[in-house]
Amino acid sequence: MKITSAKFIKGIVDDNPSLEDGKPQIAFIGRSNAGKSSLMNSITGFKSLARTSKTPGRTQEINLFLINDTHYFLDLPGYGFAKAQAHTVDKLNKLIYWYLFSSKQNPKVVVLIDAEIGPTKSDFGFLDAIEKTGKEVIIVANKVDKIKKSHYGNQIKKLAAQFPNHKLFPYSSKTKVGKEDLIAELLS
Protein backbone atom coordinates (compact mmCIF):
# COMPACT_ATOMS: atom_id res chain seq x y z
CA MET A 1 0.00 0.00 0.00
CA LYS A 2 1.32 3.43 -0.91
CA ILE A 3 0.55 7.02 -0.19
CA THR A 4 0.35 8.70 -3.56
CA SER A 5 -1.21 12.01 -2.62
CA ALA A 6 -1.48 14.16 0.47
CA LYS A 7 -3.21 17.52 0.50
CA PHE A 8 -3.55 20.03 3.31
CA ILE A 9 -7.27 20.73 3.51
CA LYS A 10 -7.64 23.12 6.42
CA GLY A 11 -6.89 24.03 9.99
CA ILE A 12 -9.80 23.05 12.18
CA VAL A 13 -10.72 25.39 14.97
CA ASP A 14 -14.09 23.98 15.99
CA ASP A 15 -16.80 21.47 15.06
CA ASN A 16 -16.78 21.14 11.32
CA PRO A 17 -19.48 19.57 9.17
CA SER A 18 -17.08 18.85 6.31
CA LEU A 19 -15.44 16.22 8.51
CA GLU A 20 -18.55 14.11 8.27
CA ASP A 21 -18.15 12.74 4.75
CA GLY A 22 -17.49 9.19 5.96
CA LYS A 23 -13.82 8.93 5.02
CA PRO A 24 -11.84 7.18 7.77
CA GLN A 25 -9.95 9.53 10.03
CA ILE A 26 -6.55 8.85 11.55
CA ALA A 27 -5.52 11.23 14.31
CA PHE A 28 -1.87 11.65 15.27
CA ILE A 29 -1.01 12.81 18.74
CA GLY A 30 1.97 12.68 21.06
CA ARG A 31 4.15 14.62 23.39
CA SER A 32 5.76 17.65 21.80
CA ASN A 33 9.11 16.70 20.33
CA ALA A 34 8.30 12.97 20.00
CA GLY A 35 8.57 13.59 16.26
CA LYS A 36 4.96 13.79 15.12
CA SER A 37 5.61 16.21 12.29
CA SER A 38 8.62 14.19 11.16
CA LEU A 39 6.51 11.04 11.24
CA MET A 40 3.69 12.52 9.17
CA ASN A 41 6.11 13.96 6.65
CA SER A 42 8.12 10.76 6.33
CA ILE A 43 5.19 8.39 5.90
CA THR A 44 3.52 10.57 3.29
CA GLY A 45 6.79 11.37 1.56
CA PHE A 46 5.86 15.05 1.55
CA LYS A 47 8.65 16.87 3.29
CA SER A 48 6.78 19.85 4.59
CA LEU A 49 3.28 18.46 4.96
CA ALA A 50 3.28 18.87 8.72
CA ARG A 51 5.50 21.60 10.08
CA THR A 52 8.10 20.61 12.60
CA SER A 53 8.12 22.15 16.04
CA LYS A 54 10.95 24.41 15.01
CA THR A 55 8.63 26.26 12.63
CA PRO A 56 5.62 27.37 14.67
CA GLY A 57 2.50 28.24 12.75
CA ARG A 58 -0.07 25.65 11.93
CA THR A 59 0.73 23.81 15.16
CA GLN A 60 -2.00 25.63 17.08
CA GLU A 61 -4.89 24.06 15.23
CA ILE A 62 -5.91 20.57 14.22
CA ASN A 63 -4.57 20.25 10.70
CA LEU A 64 -6.56 18.15 8.30
CA PHE A 65 -4.94 16.36 5.37
CA LEU A 66 -6.59 14.29 2.67
CA ILE A 67 -4.53 11.17 1.89
CA ASN A 68 -5.00 9.31 -1.41
CA ASP A 69 -8.48 10.90 -1.62
CA THR A 70 -9.63 8.11 0.70
CA HIS A 71 -8.49 8.90 4.26
CA TYR A 72 -8.02 11.91 6.48
CA PHE A 73 -4.94 12.38 8.58
CA LEU A 74 -5.35 14.81 11.47
CA ASP A 75 -2.34 16.41 13.05
CA LEU A 76 -3.34 17.12 16.63
CA PRO A 77 -1.39 19.58 18.74
CA GLY A 78 1.09 17.76 20.97
CA TYR A 79 0.35 17.38 24.64
CA GLY A 80 3.13 18.94 26.63
CA PHE A 81 3.02 22.31 24.92
CA ALA A 82 6.38 23.26 26.37
CA LYS A 83 6.68 26.48 24.49
CA ALA A 84 3.08 27.63 24.24
CA GLN A 85 1.51 30.50 26.18
CA ALA A 86 -1.10 29.69 28.82
CA HIS A 87 -4.07 31.01 26.81
CA THR A 88 -2.94 29.04 23.76
CA VAL A 89 -2.62 25.89 25.83
CA ASP A 90 -6.16 26.30 27.01
CA LYS A 91 -7.48 26.75 23.47
CA LEU A 92 -5.51 23.74 22.24
CA ASN A 93 -6.65 21.55 25.09
CA LYS A 94 -10.27 22.45 24.38
CA LEU A 95 -9.83 21.66 20.72
CA ILE A 96 -8.21 18.28 21.36
CA TYR A 97 -10.80 17.52 23.99
CA TRP A 98 -13.66 18.38 21.66
CA TYR A 99 -12.34 16.31 18.78
CA LEU A 100 -11.35 13.21 20.75
CA PHE A 101 -13.78 13.19 23.62
CA SER A 102 -16.97 15.02 22.76
CA SER A 103 -17.40 15.18 18.98
CA LYS A 104 -19.12 12.49 16.92
CA GLN A 105 -15.86 11.66 15.15
CA ASN A 106 -14.45 8.18 15.60
CA PRO A 107 -10.84 8.29 14.45
CA LYS A 108 -8.18 5.65 14.75
CA VAL A 109 -5.78 7.31 17.19
CA VAL A 110 -2.05 7.06 16.64
CA VAL A 111 -0.17 7.80 19.84
CA LEU A 112 3.42 8.64 19.13
CA ILE A 113 6.08 7.96 21.73
CA ASP A 114 9.84 8.32 21.75
CA ALA A 115 11.21 4.77 21.50
CA GLU A 116 14.47 5.63 23.19
CA ILE A 117 12.96 7.46 26.16
CA GLY A 118 9.89 5.22 26.41
CA PRO A 119 6.43 6.30 27.56
CA THR A 120 6.19 9.13 30.06
CA LYS A 121 3.58 9.98 32.66
CA SER A 122 1.81 12.27 30.21
CA ASP A 123 1.76 9.51 27.57
CA PHE A 124 0.10 7.14 30.04
CA GLY A 125 -2.27 9.86 31.22
CA PHE A 126 -3.44 10.52 27.69
CA LEU A 127 -3.69 6.82 26.90
CA ASP A 128 -5.80 6.21 29.94
CA ALA A 129 -8.27 8.88 28.84
CA ILE A 130 -8.45 7.80 25.20
CA GLU A 131 -8.90 4.12 26.10
CA LYS A 132 -12.04 5.03 28.00
CA THR A 133 -13.62 6.31 24.79
CA GLY A 134 -13.28 2.88 23.17
CA LYS A 135 -11.47 4.33 20.16
CA GLU A 136 -8.94 2.18 18.35
CA VAL A 137 -5.45 3.16 19.44
CA ILE A 138 -2.12 2.20 17.94
CA ILE A 139 1.27 3.12 19.35
CA VAL A 140 4.11 4.27 17.14
CA ALA A 141 7.50 4.09 18.85
CA ASN A 142 9.43 6.67 16.86
CA LYS A 143 13.19 7.32 16.79
CA VAL A 144 14.18 3.62 16.94
CA ASP A 145 17.36 4.63 15.09
CA LYS A 146 18.52 6.14 18.38
CA ILE A 147 18.40 2.83 20.27
CA LYS A 148 21.77 1.07 20.51
CA LYS A 149 21.80 -2.12 18.42
CA SER A 150 22.76 -4.25 21.42
CA HIS A 151 19.80 -2.89 23.36
CA TYR A 152 17.24 -2.91 20.53
CA GLY A 153 15.51 -6.27 21.11
CA ASN A 154 15.09 -5.68 24.83
CA GLN A 155 13.85 -2.14 24.41
CA ILE A 156 11.17 -3.18 21.87
CA LYS A 157 10.09 -6.04 24.14
CA LYS A 158 9.88 -3.66 27.07
CA LEU A 159 7.79 -1.19 25.07
CA ALA A 160 5.44 -3.92 23.86
CA ALA A 161 4.95 -5.04 27.47
CA GLN A 162 4.08 -1.47 28.46
CA PHE A 163 1.24 -1.40 25.92
CA PRO A 164 -0.35 -4.83 26.23
CA ASN A 165 -3.66 -3.67 24.74
CA HIS A 166 -2.39 -1.98 21.60
CA LYS A 167 -0.47 -2.73 18.46
CA LEU A 168 3.03 -1.29 18.64
CA PHE A 169 4.89 -0.11 15.54
CA PRO A 170 8.62 0.53 15.89
CA TYR A 171 9.47 3.34 13.49
CA SER A 172 12.11 5.84 12.54
CA SER A 173 11.28 9.06 10.72
CA LYS A 174 14.96 9.32 9.99
CA THR A 175 15.66 5.92 8.41
CA LYS A 176 11.98 5.14 7.61
CA VAL A 177 12.31 1.66 9.03
CA GLY A 178 8.82 0.28 9.66
CA LYS A 179 7.20 2.53 7.05
CA GLU A 180 5.43 -0.12 4.97
CA ASP A 181 3.88 -1.90 7.93
CA LEU A 182 2.71 1.35 9.42
CA ILE A 183 1.12 2.63 6.21
CA ALA A 184 -0.64 -0.70 5.72
CA GLU A 185 -2.07 -0.42 9.22
CA LEU A 186 -3.12 3.21 8.84
CA LEU A 187 -4.88 2.74 5.53
CA SER A 188 -6.47 -0.62 6.39
- Interface with ligand GDP by CB under 6 A: which residues? 30, 32-38, 52-53, 78, 142-143, 145-146, 172-174
Indicate the residue among 70 and 175 with the shorter CB distance to ligand GDP.
175
d(CA 4, CA 55): 25
Nearest to 172 by CA among 110, 83, 112, 103: 112
* CB closer to ligand GDP out of 82 and 134: 82
Cβ-count burial of 59 within 10 angstroms (0-12 exposed, 13-18 middle, 19+ buried)?
buried
Q: What minimum distance in Å lies between the beta carbon of 122 and ligand GDP?
A: 13
12 contacts 64 by C-beta, under 8 angstroms: yes
**In angstroms, what is the minimal distance from the CB of 70 to ligand GDP?**
24
Dist. CA 29–CA 31, nearest whole Å: 7
- Contact (CB, 8 A) for 144 and 178: yes
The per-residue DSSP string of 89-104 comes to HHHHHHHHHIIIIISS
Nearer Cβ to ligand GDP (49/100): 49
Q: CA torsion angle for 86, 130, 67, 88 (degrees, to 10)?
A: -10
User: Which CB atom, from 23 or from 151, has the smaller least distance to ligand GDP?
Assistant: 151
CB of 145 to ligand GDP, least distance (A): 5
Nearer to ligand GDP, 145 or 185 (CB): 145
Shortest separation between residue 147's beta carbon and ligand GDP, angstroms: 10
From the CB of 92, what's the least distance to ligand GDP, in Å? 13
Q: Which residue is nearest to ligand GDP (CB)?
A: 35
